[in-house]
Amino acid sequence: MEQRNLIECTIDVAQPLSELAAVISAVLGAVPDPETRLAVLQALNDEITTALFTIEDEISGEGEADESHDER
């Protein structure tokens, strides 16, 4: 039998920043090894960076589409 440590969360999307920060803190609090916490935060940073680039590309694409409509 495998032992698992689980955290169940309900997130109020009306307050995403504080809710996500609380989840991250809870997860980090459950990980005793500092190197593992660091690895978790670095991987999370990578995911956030990827999401930011995706959103920035979407915004840039919308701006370009708006400009092409204006040129008509």
Structure tokens at 68: 């092409």
Q: Can you read off the two tokens belonging to residue 42?
A: 């670095």
**Integer Cα distance of 5 and 32 in angstroms:** 12
Tell me: the pLDDT tens digits for 38-62? 999 999 999 999 999 999 999 999 8
Distance CA 16, CA 30 (A): 21
CB atoms within 10 A of CB 19: 15
Q: What distance in Å separates the CA atoms of residue 8 and residue 19, rounded to the nearest whole number?
A: 13
Is the pTM higher than 0.95? The answer reads no
- Predicted pLDDT at 71: 59
Position 5 pLDDT exceeds 80:
yes
